[in-house]
Amino acid sequence: MTGFLAKLGTNLTERWLSLLVLPGLLWAAAAAAAFRLEQADPFNPRPLADWLRGIAAQPAEHRTTWLAVAGVVGVLVSAGAGLAAGGLGSVLENLWVAQGTHAPLTWIVWARQRRWNAVRASARFWIAAVNDPERTGIRRARARAAARRAQRRHLARPTQPPHRPTGIAERFDASANRSRTLYGLELELVWPRLWSVLPDGLRADVTAARDAYAAAGRLAGWGLLYAALSALWWPAVLPGAAVVAVARVRAHAAAGVLADLIDTATDLHLADLAGRLGVPTTDRSALEIGTTVAERLICPQHPTLPAPATGTP
């Protein structure tokens, strides 16, 4: 037990350092530099250099005291910044999967639908232009090139118009619709029970994908914190925007992997869940099994259903 607690404390310390303190120290240093640099002449390093030279010119005892105080303040500020980044990341995780049924998210859905329709209309226009007999020579060659570009943009987009504010929300919504269509199940209802019958390997993969999605949200939170430093030094908005863009790409990738793993878990282990719940699976389709499992979860005391099986099926 002592060894376990020591290892647990080491793991918690490592996660605290990697997730909060170390990224926070970098942000605190950037904040201090932004405070010393000037908005009017943002790329002039003289104010920052003068400040550092002033610290170095202090007597040794004063410099040691100042560095100790600065270290304590830096650790506290970095930890606070790490907590703020984590909180912003959690908010962004929820925003990325929002349904978009209320303003202003409905405006984003409308804008995405307009862009989807515009790309589709552009592809149709240039295909028609290529087939126009009045276009010859250079005009037809330009039309062919434009048609190829328009078709690539059209093929890169979903086949159906978007109905959610983000691509991440679209992907998770597709998994929910797939489970509903193939098995008659609501993922929110069945997933906590399905998780209990998944093998350790698949659980580890799902957990890793979920952690990657959370890490992308946290990275986006750091990007917003760096962009907030533009109030002190306006060029800080550039690295902040770059970090948010990278986080968005990572979030899309992690969400795609997580949704695929959820689909895999439902496909491969629904029968295991049905066996644990006492739902018969012999000579029954997947839709019938899923519908019965849903009824079993909604009405656990339904008289026409057998009692849950005991032990391993």
Q: How many CB atoms lie within 10 A of CB 149?
A: 13
The answer to whether 141 and 158 have CB atoms below 8 angstroms apart is no
Per-residue confidence (pLDDT) for residue 8, from 0 to 100: 33
How far, in Å, CA of 175 to CA of 159, rounded? 16
| 21 is a domain residue | no
- Let me know whether 173 and 222 are in one domain: yes
Q: pLDDT of the chain along its 313 residues, tens only?
A: 444 333 333 444 455 555 556 788 888 888 888 888 877 777 887 877 777 777 667 676 666 777 777 777 777 888 888 889 889 999 999 999 988 888 888 898 899 889 989 988 988 888 888 888 877 788 888 888 888 898 888 888 877 888 899 999 999 999 999 999 999 888 888 998 899 899 999 999 999 999 999 999 999 999 999 999 988 888 889 999 999 999 999 999 999 999 999 999 999 999 888 888 888 888 888 888 888 888 888 875 544 545 555 444 4
Answer yes or no: is 68 within a domain.
no
Residues 174, 228 within the same domain: yes
Q: Could you tell me the two tokens for 104?
A: 């202003």
Instruction: Identify whether 48 is part of a domain.
Output: no
Q: Are residues 281 and 192 in the same domain?
A: yes
pLDDT of amino acid 70 = 74
Domain presence at residue 87 = yes
Count structural domains, the chain. Answer: 2
Q: Rounded to an integer, what distance in angstroms lies between the CA atom of residue 220 and that of residue 216?
A: 6
- Residue that is written with structure tokens 């659980």 in the block: 203
Q: CB neighbours of 204 closer than 8 A, spacing ≥ 6? A: none
259 shares a domain with 155 = no
Q: Which residues contact 299 (CB under 8 A, 6 or more apart)?
A: 305
| Structure tokens given for 195 | 């998780």
Residue 170 is predicted with a pLDDT of 92
Give the residue from 163, 180, 213 where a domain finishes: 163
Predicted pLDDT of residue 146: 87
DSSP string for residues in 205-225? HHHHHHHHHHHHHHHHHHHHH
Are 182 and 190 in contact by the 8 Å Cβ rule? The answer is no
pLDDT recorded at residue 56: 67
Q: Which domain holds residue 293?
A: 82-98+166-313
Q: Is the preceding peptide bond at 104 cis, omega within 30 degrees of 0?
A: yes
Q: What is the reported pLDDT for 251?
A: 95
The Cα–Cα gap between 252 and 170 comes to: 11
Of 163, 188, 209, the residue at which a domain comes to its end is 163
Is residue 28 one of the residues assigned to a domain? Answer: no
Same domain, 90 and 199: yes
Q: Are residues 183 and 307 in the same domain?
A: yes
Residue 52 belongs to some domain of the structure: no
Q: Are residues 172 and 279 in the same domain?
A: yes
Residues 150 and 193 in one domain: no
Same domain, 88 and 231: yes
Query: Is residue 91 domain-shared with residue 109, that is, in the same domain?
Result: no
Q: What angle do CA 103, 256, 86 make, to 5 degrees?
A: 65
Q: What is the pLDDT of residue 15?
A: 56
One domain for residues 128 and 174: no
Is there a contact between 88 and 224 (Cβ–Cβ < 8 Å)? Answer: yes
User: Token match 């926070």: residue?
Assistant: 24
Q: Which residue, 139, 163, 187, sits at the end of a domain?
A: 163
Whether pTM > 0.85 for this model: the answer is: no
Question: How does DSSP classify residue 308?
Answer: P
Q: Are residues 89 and 225 in the same domain?
A: yes
Does any domain span residue 66? Answer: no
Asked whether the beta carbons of 190 and 263 are under 8 A apart, the reply is no
Asked if residue 77 is part of any domain, the answer here is: no
- The CA–CA distances, whole Å, from 221 to 81, 96, 108, 136, 218 equal 10, 13, 21, 53, 5
Q: What does R_g of the chain's alpha carbons equal in angstroms?
A: 28
Are the C-beta atoms of 292 and 305 separated by less than 8 Å? yes
